[in-house]
């Protein structure tokens, strides 16, 4: 359970380069009309990738105690669950009212 | 400050705090998404959102996260000179982000979008304003650490303080990663 050594400076720089590249891809995808049908899933996956990279390497969860990961991922999953539940609740209600 | 599991109590408490922040931002993002596309009067998102400008803000915040980990690495190895430099760079990039947000908010108000104009205005300003308030707290915290470093009071023994500041700063960054995608790119 104890804390371990963190990543090296080289790793931090590589992660930064990957994060910048993903952001450029996100903005590029936004402007390319051919990607419009798959825009939402592609952007969600890219965003999740950036999120995970920052949390694992910059917040050191990859190297730290699993208890920290539990303290973070538990409420995070709860927040995502609440978000999905609310979206289903509200958009489901709209569909029932409009009959679509 | 180390507990029976060999973990620092302050760090453990801070991870629990970050967990609670996930729920706060989760509720604000949910509210934004629920009311998305339900405004009956303009301006609408596509009328005001400036993607190239916000992309620069996103890049700025990502680079501030890099500066933060470099500051922590420098403090941990006892390199106070580099630590001071990277702490200042992190705070400066945070200030640039805040400057961008002030510019964005004022241009939106100029274009007729206020907090009470429509559902988009209300949910957008509350969500991004709450995030901006967190960035402001982070910048003040970073500048406080920088002043401590200037006075020579920040060495490897205080690395845990810098690490906790870094956790907060990176969390603010990951929240922006989500906001940038859900609010700006998926319109």
Please report, for chain B, the start and end positions of each structural domain, with discontinuous segments joined by +.
49-185
**What does the pLDDT read at residue A30?**
93
Measured CA to CA, the distance from residue B43 to residue B117 in angstroms comes to: 8
pLDDT tens digits, one per residue of B62-119: 999 999 999 999 999 999 999 999 999 999 999 999 999 999 999 999 999 999 999 9
**A30 vs B167: CB contact, 8 Å cut-off?**
no
Radius of gyration of chain B from Cα atoms?
18
Is residue B39 pLDDT above 90, yes or no?
no
Query: What pLDDT is stored for residue B155 in this prediction?
Result: 85
Q: What is the pLDDT of residues A46-79, one digit of tens each?
A: 999 999 999 999 999 998 889 999 999 999 999 9
Average pLDDT over residues B129-143: 98
Of A47, A58, A65, the CB nearest to B69: A58
Q: Give domain B49-185's CATH superfamily.
A: Cytochrome c oxidase, subunit III, four-helix bundle (1.20.120.80)
For residue B39, the SS3 value is coil
Cis peptide before B43 (omega within 30 of 0): yes
Q: Which H or E element spans position B57? A: helix B51-76
Q: State mean pLDDT over B2-9.
A: 82
Residue spans of the domains in chain A: they are 1-64, 65-100
Say yes or no to pLDDT of B132 above 50: yes
Q: Which two tokens stand for residue A83?
A: 């978000």
Confirm if B46 and B187 have CB atoms less than 8 A apart: yes
Facing A43 at nearest CB: one of B11, B51, B186: B186
Write out the two tokens for B36.
């998305």
Res B168: pLDDT: 98
| CA A33 to chain centroid | 24
* Number of Cβ atoms within 10 Å of the Cβ of B154: 22
Does the pTM surpass 0.90? The reply is yes
| Inter-chain touch A82–B63, beta carbons under 8 Å | no
Mutation pick from A43, A47, A53 vs chain B, by most beta carbons of B within 10 Å, is A47
Judge if ipTM > 0.90.
yes
Return the residue of A nearest to B173 by Cα: A54
What is the predicted pLDDT for the residue at B33? 93
* Nearest CB neighbour to A23, from listed B52, B55, B65: B55
Q: How far is CA A93 from the centre of its chain?
A: 27
Query: Is the pLDDT confidence value at A97 over 70?
Result: no
How far is A41 from B63, CA to CA, in rounded Å?
Answer: 26
Buried b (16+ CB within 10 A) or exposed e, B117-127: bbbbbbbbbeb
Sign of CA dihedral B47, A43, B18, A12: negative
Inform me whether the pLDDT recorded for B24 exceeds 50.
Answer: yes
- CB atoms closer than 10 angstroms to residue A78: 14
- B62–A3 C-beta distance less than 8 A: no
In the prediction, which pLDDT does A1 show?
Answer: 42
> Would you say residue A4 has pLDDT above 60?
no
Q: Is the pLDDT of residue B27 over 60?
A: yes
């Amino acid at each position: 359970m104890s804390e371990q050594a963190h990543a090296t400076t080289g790793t931090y720089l590589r992660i930064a380069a990957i994060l910048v590249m993903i952001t450029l891809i996100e903005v590029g995808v936004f402007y390319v009309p051919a990607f419009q049908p798959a825009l939402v899933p592609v952007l969600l996956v890219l965003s999740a990738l950036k999120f995970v990279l920052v949390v694992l390497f910059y917040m050191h969860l990859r190297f730290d105690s699993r208890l920290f990961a539990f303290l973070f991922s538990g409420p995070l999953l709860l927040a995502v669950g609440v978000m999905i539940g609310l979206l289903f609740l509200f958009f489901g209600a709209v569909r029932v009212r409009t009959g679509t | 400050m180390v507990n029976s599991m060999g973990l620092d109590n302050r760090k453990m408490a801070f991870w629990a705090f970050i967990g609670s922040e996930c729920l706060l931002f989760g509720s604000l993002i949910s509210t934004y998404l629920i009311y998305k596309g339900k405004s009956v009067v303009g301006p609408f998102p596509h009328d005001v959102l400036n993607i190239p400008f916000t992309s620069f803000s996103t890049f700025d915040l990502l680079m501030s996260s890099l500066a933060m980990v470099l500051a922590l690495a420098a403090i941990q190895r006892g390199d106070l000179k580099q630590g001071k430099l990277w702490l200042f760079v992190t705070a400066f990039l945070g200030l640039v982000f805040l400057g961008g947000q002030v510019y964005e908010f004022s241009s939106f108000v100029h274009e007729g979008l206020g907090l009470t104009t429509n559902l988009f205005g209300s949910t957008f300003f509350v969500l991004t304003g709450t995030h901006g308030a967190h960035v402001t707290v982070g910048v003040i915290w970073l500048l406080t650490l920088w002043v401590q470093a200037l006075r020579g009071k920040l060495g490897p023994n205080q690395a845990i303080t810098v690490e906790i500041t870094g956790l907060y700063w990176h969390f603010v960054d990951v929240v922006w990663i989500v906001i940038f995608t859900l609010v700006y790119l998926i319109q």
